[in-house]
Amino acid sequence: MISVIIPAYNAARYVTEALRSVSVQSSPCEEILVVDDGSTDETRQVVKKLHEKAVRLVLAEHQGVSAARNLGVKEAQGDLLAFLDADDLWEKDKLRIQQQILTEQPELDGVFGHVTQFVSPELSLEQSKKFSVLPGPMPGYHAGCLLIKRTSFLEVGGFREELQSGEFIDWFIRAKERGLRFFMPDQVLMHRRIHGENSVLKNKEQLYRDYFQIIRLHQKAAIKPEARDDDTSI
C-alpha cells in the first residue's frame, strides 16, 4: 500500500493540479493525505470540494513543511511513503516505475527520479523573467521524487521541524549516514513549479541560515554509524 503525503500551506491555487497528477497515476495509490498546515486561504475548501474518496484532509496549526510531513507519516497507513509538495506535479508513471524497481531490487530502501523545473504558466512575462530555471532534467534528490519503505523512513526519523528550509538535505544526509540504499532511475518523474512564493526563493536569508545550521549539526556528529554491508547506493 502506498500513502502519498502532501503538505499544503496557502496552496489553493495549485493543490488541485497536484492532486490530479496523483489521481491519474498508472499505479494507483490507496491513500492520499493532504496535511493543511494552518492555511489562511481557500486550501481546505478546495480539497474538500474534490470529492476524491482516497483523499483525506488532515488539519494542523501552522508549523512548517517538516511538521506537516511528519504528521502525514504519523497518520499514514501505507508501507510505502511518497511525498509531493502541493505546487508540484508527478508524471503519470511515477509510482509504477518506482514500485517496480523496489520489487525487483528488494535490498533498496527507496527510489528517486529525475526532475524538471517550470515557471508557473499563470505568471506574466515580466514576472517570469525574474526566475532562472535550470534547463533539462536533473537528478531529483527531493522529497517529491522519493518513494521509500515506511520502515526505512522511520529508521532515519522524521524531518527536523526546526528547519524552515533544507530539511530534506538534512534528512538525506542522515539516511546516508545510516547506510540506507537508494536508486536513481533515468526517467523524469516530477516537475517542480517555480512561482515566486516557493519558500527557498522567498526567503534567501533563512535558507542560508538553515543550510549553515545543517552543516553545524553534521559536523558535530563525532561518530557516524557504519554503513550496511554490500551497500550499493549512490
CA distance 82 to 101: 14
Select 2-219's CATH number: 3.40.50.300, 3.50.50.60, 3.90.550.10, 3.30.470.160.
3.90.550.10
Position of cell 545510516?
178
Instruction: Please give the pLDDT value at position 206.
Output: 53
Is residue 199 very low, low, confident or very high in pLDDT (cuts 50, 70, 90)?
low
The tens digit of pLDDT for each residue in 142-173 reads: 999 999 999 999 999 999 998 877 899 999 99
DSSP 18-86: HHHHHHT-SS--SEEEEEEES-SSSHHHHHHHT--TTEEEEEE-S--HHHHHHHHHHH---SEEEE--T
